[in-house]
Amino acid sequence: MKRNLTRHVFTAAATALAMSAALPTVAQTEYPVKPVRIIVPFGPGGLADITMRLAAGKLTDIFGQQFVVENHPGAGGVAAANQLLSSDPGGHTLLVMSNGTIIAVSLFENLGYDPQTQFAPISTLAWFDLGIFVSPDSEYTTLQELSIMVWPIPAMLTLVR
């Protein structure tokens, strides 16, 4: 009898657990329920803008709701960050954040926000490498040669060694 009761209690507990696991999904609504704004902290036509427009098209296809890119350049991403913070926090406004948004903390006395506590990352979309190029007929063919030439001229180029 005790063994039979244990099995019934276990079965009831397992059933309750399985049913409770389904409850959060029942309470959630479809996302997105309206168009999603993607704020890009750079002007139109650049690498970030083009990348986000391609991604927005794919996200629109996947979710069946419009993803719209909005460019808010200025102040190293501060303008775009403030645009996000002034929007409805329901998840229908996204911000493309670059290192400029984080670096701005050390450049401005009062940003009006803390990027480490007021933003939550949801995805890394892309990594971009930047290069330094010279004309093919330049006398400098390496960064070391260029830095040796400009090192005595403080305002010409900033390099960290």
Residue 26: is its pLDDT beyond 70? no
More confident residue, 136 or 101: 136
CA-based nearest residue to 32, from 12, 7, 8, 59: 59
Q: Say which residue the tokens 């049913």 belong to.
A: 19
Contacts 24+ apart (CB under 8 A), 101-104: 101/41, 101/76, 101/77, 103/76, 104/75, 104/76, 104/77, 104/78
What is the tens place of the pLDDT at every residue in 126-159?
777 667 788 889 888 888 888 787 777 766 666 5
Q: How confident is the model at residue 9 (pLDDT cuts 50, 70, 90)?
A: very low
With contact defined as beta carbons under 8 Å apart, do 68 and 37 qualify?
A: yes
Q: pTM for the complete prediction?
A: 0.65
Class of domain 36-107: alpha beta
What is the tens place of the pLDDT at every residue in 28-66?
678 899 999 999 999 999 989 999 999 999 999 999 999
Extents of the domains making up the chain: 36-107, 131-161
Token pair for residue 124? 């890394």
